[in-house]
Every structure is written in structure tokens, then in C-alpha cells.
Amino acid sequence: MRIVILGSGAGGGVPQWNCGCRNCEAARDGRIPAMSQSGIAVSADGRDWALVNASPDLRQQLAGAAALRPQGLRGTPIRSVLVTNGDIDHVAGLLTLREGQPFDLFATQAIHGVLAANPMLAALDPHLVARREVALDQPFELAPGLAATLFAVPGKVPLYLEGERVETELMGEQTVGVELAGGGRRVFYIPGCASVPGWLRERIAGADALLFDGTLWTDDEMLRAGLGAKTGRRMGHVPVSGPGGSLEALRGLDLGARIYVHLNNSNPLVDPASPERAQAQAAGWQVGHDGMEIAP
């Protein structure tokens, strides 16, 4: 199995277009690496690829990934796209894939409903792009030799669907984790998760790799930095540090590679020289970066 991290940032990426925070300015100046918005590509044979999530930055991500270049005058090695929720930073890139290439679009029934309600996505020709509904906890072939299983993780509906009362730890089809299996390897991709309950620890134990939600270092970092009015948990993301954070909750678990993805521009982990990065690395974690390749 081969995995390429196409984008390691959360919504807005690093630098975010309208943000002058320390990390965004450092990325603009080239002092720390920039991060495009979240997504990966995965293959079991190195020829046939699946995308998991399609960010608004997908065009530049594909241009920078040698394995995903066109085949011949017109063509693509991309056989399918799977979206894990309906967040804009995970589905807007579907519009980049409208130039008449066939592929399968996988999602839960709930997320397909969200996509179908957007008339702009009719630009994906239904004669070429098959919209395939996936049931939770039922394995399916995502690409040749590559099986995927979706499972509910604590989360919430996309921001644009929020009502007056927001539940941040819903369990259902609106936010899912992905278990990938191929070539005798088992990998989990969970870019959005509001908490780490015991059953989730049990499910991912023994995996060859875990790519996990690293949106915020501390739950209140955006408030303290003056960058927003919401905590991480209010946005449906468990923090990395602190009581109940993923560093604590996943400590001691039998895992191969453990990699944080979906990092917000406020997160000190995006700075390779930060003490927080050193703390995460001492706990056995890597911080994902654009173009990072994983062969678990």
C-alpha cells in the first residue's frame, strides 16, 4: 500500500488567505512549510489510485504528485474519490474533477444527500461519475486491491448545515473514519474526530499506520490567539494536548506510524522548531506534510 498526503492543513490551509497570525506570516516568508487543505491519495498497486477527500486545493495537489499525472493525452490513474464528511474543505475539490473523466464517488447516504442538494456538483457528469452509497461497517473495493470500511466517529454536521443547537459528538453518517486494507496492511485515516472513546482505541489498535485529526494543539488556542470564537471541541475536533486530548488518549496503543494531519494555522505543530512539535515527536508522533509518502 502507498499513501501520499496531498494536503496536511485544516480548512484554509497555511497560510490562510486572510490571516496574519505568526504561523501564516512565517509560511508566507518561507520560514516554515506551507500546508494545503486536507486530503490523501492511496493505492494498493502503485497504478490505480483513490483520493480520500477532495479539498479546494486539489488542482495544485494533483499537479505536484508524480504518481497522479495524466496517462496519455487524456486520462488519469484516479479510479475513485471517497469523502469522509460534507465539509467544504473536503468536497469543494470535486469541482476540479469535472473535465469528463470517469471515476466512482463514494460517500455515505447522508453525505450523498448533501452533495446532491448542491446544483453546482451536477457538473460531474452522471454518465461518467458514478455516485456510490456506502453503508457503515461494510467493506467495499475503493480501488483494485484496496478495501475500505467506513465507520462513525464522534463529530458534527458541516458548518453550513448547523442549526441553533449544535451537537458536536454525533455518531452517524455525517463524520466517518476510514479503515484501508491492502497488501497485508491496515491503515486508518481519521481527519476529523471530536473525542477518542475506548471503542475507538480498540478498533485502531495494531494498525500499521494512523493518520489522525491534529487540528488544534489546545482546545482554546484560537480564542487565546484572537483568531476565532470557538473551541476545537465546538468545531468537532479533539485537541492534541491536555486532558482527554489525543496524545493522552492514544498513549501506549500498539500502532505502527502515527501521524497528525488536518492541522489548523493556529497550531504550533505546524512549526518544525516548536517545543510542541518536539513533545509530539517524543511521544512517537510525526506531523504530516504536503507530499509526504507513507508505505506502511
User: Nine-digit cell at 168?
Assistant: 458536536
- Indicate the pLDDT class of residue 222, thresholds 50, 70 and 90: confident
Q: In which residue are the cell numbers 520560514 written?
A: 31
CATH of residue 175's domain is 3.60.15.10
pLDDT digits (tens, 9 = 90+) for 119-164: 999 999 999 999 999 999 999 999 999 999 999 998 765 555 545 5
Number of domains composing the chain: 1
Question: Average pLDDT, stretch 228-239?
Answer: 79
Range of the domain at 78: 2-294
pTM to 2 decimal places = 0.94
Instruction: Give the model confidence (pLDDT) of 245-292 as tens digits.
Output: 999 999 999 999 999 999 999 999 999 999 999 999 999 999 999 999
